[in-house]
Structure 1
Amino acid sequence: MCVENCPPPSNRLTRRGVLAGAAALAGTTAALAAAPGASAAPSTGMSAARSAGAPRGGDLVIDGGTLLDPATGEVTEDAVVVIRDGVVRAAGTRARVDVPKGATVLDARGRWVLPGLVDSHIHLNTAAEAKTAVRLGATSARSGSTNFYQDIAVRELARQAPKLAPRLRAAGIFITPDLGDTVLGDPDLTPLARLSEGVRSPEALRRVVQVNLARGADVIKTRVNERAGLPEQDPLAQVYSHEQLSEVVAAARRGGKGVLCHSYSEKGCHDAVTAGITSLEHGAFVGERTLHEMRRRGTYFTPTMIAIAGMIGSSNPVLDERGRTYLPKLKAAALAAHELGVPLVSGTDSSGGEVEPIGSEIELMHSAGLSALDAIRTATVNAARLLGLDGTVGRLARGFAGDAILVSGDPLADISVLKKPVRVVRAGVAV
């Protein structure tokens, strides 16, 4: 059955769409109301909140810490970082940076100071999850999709009350053959419920992309394989062909967006990469020929090793075995990708109310064979480029966002300190 006869989705955020997202995103309104200097979006919809403009960031001086610049590897002792209106105005040695009189000062003596980290694959379905991600050091993120467009609302929450949510690139809903209850996320999706074979035809695939774009998605998320985290599914079974993936990519490109693709099998990975995706997610069995193709195309790789490691020890023997089998393969794939020059980024694939610290994925990147500095780059400068935020996040330099983490020791010597930031600063406000 065709969906081409349905009218195109509205290209604006409608009141019904906002309300649908708000109903699923429990706690957003309360969080906004409680945030200092911010007010909840009016009931007339998110567009009203946007027209009012987001609050400015904070003013803060981070004083006396050891500053690490992931871009250059430079380490500056007794450093000063001056943040005004949520933006870094100066960063460097005390001798070169003037501390404004009367400034609020965060004492960083004895701490290392790094830019806020980026989680390039996370599922934020509630306001509580968004706040936890920030507290664990992820001041920026890319959504791996949500059930009912909650990530669109989280993105707005981050603008209105930065300390409550990471700066976010939203993916909207997952493009998958069986949308299930997600068809209730927007009335423009409901015609797809009539399709006996699910979202598989070119028209149906384009339709979901179009609804995502109309609702304001920054990126498009799809899949080529089934899930590893569900014991009844076979992660090596392919659900979309090269041609179907190409339809998704083409529709996304017409809207000026890239595609991230859930994948495991080598054939699935190769089909996804050659179809033109922007980043390969998971990819446990990605092979050498596909990695070479990724390097040629500039395709990013997000291994999400912490999600796979989390299956080890599961009470379900299928999941336990998958975790033990897939993790070493992912580590080998990540190292091979790095050595070939494929851009690597860190993502936790956190979902279901459990938020993993992005520092755990950085630690696994290091254990896979990357140097500590290169591992840190996967959640700073590399991730910033993937998200289109290079020049905004990933460093603490003049003109960059005033997002920072303070950790208890030298991450170049003990990378595990990144898992438990002592303090987090988001847009010039200490969290």
Structure 2
Amino acid sequence: MCVEAIPPPSGRLTRRGVLAGAAALAGTVAAASPAAAAPVGRDAASPTGRTASGGPAHGGTLVIEGGTLLDPATGDVTENAVVVIEDGTVRAAGPRGGVTVPRGAETLDAHGRWVLPGLIDAHIHLSTAAEARDAVRQGATSARSGSTSFYQDIAVRELARHSPGLAPRLTAAGIFVTPDLGETVLADPELTPLARLADGVRSAEALRRVVEVNVARGADVIKTRVNERAGLPEQDPLTQVYSHEQLSEIVGAARRRGKGVLCHSYSERGCHDAVTAGIRSLEHGVFVGERTLGEMRRRGTYFTPTLTAIAGLADSADPVLAERGRTYLPVLKRAVLAAHELGVPLAAGTDSSGGTVRPIGREVELMRAAGLSALDAIRTATTGAARLLGLERTAGRLARGFAGDAILVDGDPLADLTLLTRPVRVVRAGLAL
């Protein structure tokens, strides 16, 4: 069967069909209704962070005052700081004496607390509005999707744009480019012809097709794999499912459309094939070796190790998965430290999925346990992850012109990173949640 003989994907279907279906699956239509939970401390007339006219709201003016402000970019710590957020954007941040506070602005008292930019989860699977809300309330004000089965992440991204208090700013990956699409072939009529391919999505034409459909439906990045999954006991995560040539085909198709590729990986050979094929970021990468790390440093390839997910395997009731968790975690920690010492850029990601959203602060804590300094660990979920997502001028700092996203914690996170797992307040686009 010649996949290329099928007409190009229709971009119009994204808005009128696929996106509507994804929104229904994700529950984002209900989430954006007036019955949804209102951000704490906001006017009842704007329960979902929208203006009276129904357009996106950006929180008016909010002043966070009296806290200790940490700038991850510089490491500077400012006591008795003031952050002024207007229309969802930071207008000023600094010591009290150097910042003018607008009259009549809503005030969030941060005395006795530390103030940080909202954290970034660079690998998370958000398939429902409830998961999106959980992620925000645990401090992930920005995120990158690790793919969903039916484009739900694209719907969540749109929810975040219109009702920022309900979802993190999201970079959507659409559907997984994988040999066996399974039920995902039903996500889009443009994909159903691929169900007849005896060998699955492996030919150059089929690989390009899935990338093209993703882009037509609004995906911001492309997600693929080089190895089988660690979280399924019947699979061997060291088994390679795509060759260097196949990965290069995926990367090439994505690049022609201005998209980067994140790649699920475990084995050293698989990691090396993925990196040399030109992926933007290596996900998991437990057995990545020095040769590949050196190539990543040269190319600027990011490493998103998802330590939280690997650590979670050790708690599994399945003995195969539990053994993988116990075996893989120390290996991955060593790889993270080696990457950091070589200068490979790191990004924090929880790989949360299946209805359970883990706090991104836990990933930061595990980065520290791997050997990074507390400040460098925080950077993996702020400035480092922001660069990976192309948000280096939007997220990761509380400085003029950046997004008005912040978390407040009860103490000094440089001394106790566990504080990041339980923020006492979250601010999203100027909305105090």
Q: TM-score, normalised by structure 1?
A: 0.96
Deviations 1:50-108 (A, max 9, x none): xx853334320001000000000000000000000010000000010111111100000
Q: Distance in 1 between matches of 2:394 and 2:315?
A: 39
Does the 8 Å CA contact 2:161/2:169 hold for their aligned counterparts?
yes
Matches within 5 A, 1:10-409: 10-12=10-12, 13-26=14-27, 28-34=28-34, 37=46, 54-409=56-411
Output the CA distance in 1 between the equivalents of 2:88 and 2:367: 30
2:429 to 415, 427, 430: 427
Q: CA RMSD in A?
A: 1.5
What is the deviation of 1:122? 0.2
Aligned partners of 2:100 and 2:24: how far apart in 1?
47
Q: In structure 2, how many angstroms separate the alpha carbons of the residues matched to 1:279 and 1:422?
A: 32
How far off its partner does 1:29 sit?
1.1
Unpaired stretches in structure 1, ≥5 consecutive residues: 42-51
**Offset of residue 39 of structure 1:** 7.8
The aligned counterpart of 1:47 is none
Distance (whole Å) between structure 2 residues aligned to residue 350 and residue 247 of structure 1: 28
Q: Is the 8 A contact 1:29 1:40 kept in 2?
A: no
2: distance between equivalents of 1:334 and 1:40? 38
Distance 1:39 1:101 in 2: 25
Deviation at 1:313, TM superposition (A): 2.6
Instruction: For residue 188 of structure 1, give the secondary structure of its aligned residue in structure 2.
Output: coil
Q: Secondary structure at the match of 1:37?
A: coil
Measured after TM superposition, the shift of residue 18 of structure 1 is 1.9
Is residue 135–residue 167 contact of structure 2 (8 Å, CA) maintained in 1? yes
Report the residue type matching 1:344 in the other structure. Answer: L
* Residues 289-324 of structure 1: CA deviation (Å, up to 9, x unaligned): 000000000000000000010011321110000000
Tell me which stretches of 4 or more aligned residues in structure 1 moved more than 6 Å.
38-41
2:91 is paired with a residue whose SS is strand
Contact kept, 8 Å, 2:248 with 2:277, in 1: the verdict is: yes
CA contact (8 A) 1:25 1:126 kept: yes
Cα separation, 1, equivalents of 2:265 and 2:152: 23
Looking at structure 1, the residues matched to 317 and 186 of structure 2 have their Cα atoms a distance apart, in angstroms, of 33
Whole-angstrom distance in 1 between the partners of 2:185 and 2:223: 16
**Percent identical:** 76
Q: Deviation of residue 38 (structure 1)?
A: 7.3
Which moves more between the two structures, 205-214 or 3-12? 3-12
The equivalent of 1:49 in structure 2 is none
Which blocks of at least 5 consecutive residues in structure 2 are unaligned? 37-44
Q: Distance in 1 between matches of 2:214 and 2:47?
A: 28
- Aligned partners of 1:350 and 1:313: how far apart in 2? 15
What's 1:411 paired with?
A: 413
Q: Distance in 2 between matches of 1:314 and 1:193?
A: 33
Report Cα offsets for 1:152-192 as digits up to 9, x if no partner: 00000001100100000000000000001101111111110
> What is the CA distance between 1:2 and its match in structure 2?
2.1
User: Structure 1, residues 329-382: CA drift from partner, whole Å, max 9, x if none?
Assistant: 110000000000000000000000000000000000000000000000000000
1:40–1:346: structure 2 CA closer, same or farther, 3 Å change rule? closer
- Compared CA separation, residues 114 and 40, structure 1 to 2 (3 A): closer
- Secondary structure (helix, strand or coil) at the match of 2:69 reads strand
Q: Which residue of 2 aligns with 1:46?
A: none
Tell me the SS of whatever aligns to 1:424: strand
Q: Which amino acid aligns with 2:222?
A: I
| Letter matched to residue 6 of structure 2 | C
* In 2, Cα distance between equivalents of 1:3 and 1:39: 43
CA separation of 1:78 and 1:138: change in aligned 2, threshold 3 A: same
TM-score normalised by structure 2 residue count? 0.95
Q: Distance in 1 between matches of 2:49 and 2:100?
A: 36
Residue matched to 2:39: none
Partner of 1:44: none
Residue-pair matches, total: 421
Shift of 1:24: 1.5
Counterpart residue identity of residue 67, structure 2 = G
Alpha-carbon spacing, 1:354–1:426, altered in 2? closer, same or farther (3 Å): same
Distance 2:412 2:290 in 1: 34
